[in-house]
Amino acid sequence: MSVSTSHGGLPRIVVVGDTEQALRRLGHWETIEGQAQVSMHAGPLNGQPLVDALKDADAVVLLRDRTPFDAALLAQLPHLRYVIFTGSRNSTIDLPALAARNIPVSCTEWGPSKDSTCEMTWSMILGATRQLEQQTALLRQGQWRAGAAEPLARVLNGQTLGLIGLGEIGGRVAKVGQALGMDVITWSPRMTPERAAAQGVTAVSLEDLLTRSQVVSLHLVVIPATRHLLNAERLALMRPDSLLVNTSRSALIDSAALVKALEKGRPGFAALDVFDVEPLPLNDPLRQLPNVLLTPHLGFVTEPVFQRFASGVTECLEAWLAGKPRVRELTA
């Protein structure tokens, strides 16, 4: 064994946040478990239960940014010497605090997560537009059609798709919209007419996008300028027949304002895959609204993405245990 420990015995590796229980199933842990004690936690942990799970860890594996890892938590982990997180971006990990303790941090590759999120976005757009959840519920209740006259599903062809963000995921979403015959418009803080035109899209103001679009989909990172970008004032600009889709980050929308806006019917419907608190609390008002489609943050949750996560984690851990150069190491 190349890794020594401050507490004696085998190194202790703790995996947290693997709700899908996929890292063990998809990874090859035989070599690692021959050299270390490994414990895996699927359910969400926070507060003292999180500290209790991690306090003796020499290495910690974080699934995405599900477990905030700040200086206060780090101060309670005296044995920690290595951190790995899946994916290449984590907005909740305090890299400077880890660097101050000379604790290296590695990440994994993403796999086809951008394709996965694009497909999830369109699953939600199509599912909401064609009323799939409501129609399935009717069948489960023994019905074929609703008992009273109700608005029918719409057709996306000829409608306007407004993309807030036209990066790697937004660009993919745009191509599908164009293939469906939609008029695609876009806005982002640094959007230019030339950049939009290069993808066959029209750049407009945010207000124009919200006013015109039957479907609005968010594809931005959260920075101070985009946090709660869709506030009460901007949500009120949306059409009563519009669909708001968020497979990006919940902080882009003021969630309290969104609940009130949906109650007022602007937007008319929302399809949400991301939430301020995850898992979504049972008493969250979004659960009670009839004009929402809710999914449990599934945008990146696919077999090939988690296969890449699992192989990346085990590769990093094997190198660390063998005292070899660390794989995909980050700097603060």
Residue 135 phi/psi, 5-degree rounding, is: -70, -35
Dist. CA 237–CA 212, nearest whole Å: 9
Dist. CA 150–CA 131, nearest whole Å: 11
Q: Above pLDDT 70, what percent of the chain?
A: 97
Same fold, 12-112+303-330 and 113-294: yes
What is the average pLDDT across 157-173? 98
Dist. CA 190–CA 55, nearest whole Å: 43
pLDDT of the residue at 6 = 65
pLDDT of the residue at 235 = 98
pLDDT of the residue at 156 = 98
The residues facing 106 across adjacent strands are: 84, 329
In this structure, the number of other CB atoms found within 10 A of the CB of residue 210 comes to 24
Domain borders along the chain are 12-112+303-330, 113-294
pLDDT at position 258 over 70: yes
Per-residue pLDDT tens digits for 79-115: 999 999 999 989 899 999 999 999 999 999 999 999 9
pLDDT of the residue at 17 = 96
Which structure tokens are listed for 197?
């035109």
- Lowest mean pLDDT segment, chosen from 5-19, 43-57, 58-72, 148-162: 5-19
pLDDT at position 305 over 90: yes
**3-state SS assignment for residue 197:** helix
Helix boundaries (H) for 12-167: 22-26, 30-33, 47-54, 71-74, 95-100, 113-129, 132-140
pLDDT of the residue at 8 = 67
What is the average pLDDT across 277-295? 97
Q: Which pLDDT band, with edges at 50, 70 and 90, does 326 fall under?
A: confident
Mean pLDDT for the chain overall: 96
The model carries a pTM of 0.93
pLDDT at position 5 over 90: no
pLDDT at position 332 over 70: no
What is the average pLDDT across 303-329? 94
CATH code, residues 12-112+303-330: 3.40.50.720
CATH code, residues 113-294: 3.40.50.720
Q: Tell me, what amino acid is at 68?
A: P
What is the average pLDDT across 31-45? 95
Q: Which pLDDT band, with edges at 50, 70 and 90, does 9 fall under?
A: confident
pLDDT at position 331 over 80: no
> CB under 8 Å to 69, separation ≥6 — which residues?
60, 62, 83, 90, 92, 93, 94
Q: Which pLDDT band, with edges at 50, 70 and 90, does 295 fall under?
A: very high
Which residues form the catalytic set? Answer: 249, 278, 297
Dist. CA 236–CA 100, nearest whole Å: 46
Q: Which pLDDT band, with edges at 50, 70 and 90, does 4 fall under?
A: low
Q: Above pLDDT 90, what percent of the chain?
A: 93
Q: How many residues does the chain have?
A: 332
Query: Using omega within 30 degrees of 0 as the cis cutoff, is the peptide bond preceding 267 cis?
Result: yes
pLDDT at position 2 over 80: no
pLDDT at position 325 over 60: yes
Q: Which pLDDT band, with edges at 50, 70 and 90, does 166 fall under?
A: very high
**3-state SS assignment for residue 25:** helix
**Contacts of range 72-75, beta carbons closer than 8 Å, 24 or more positions apart:** 74/98, 74/101, 74/103
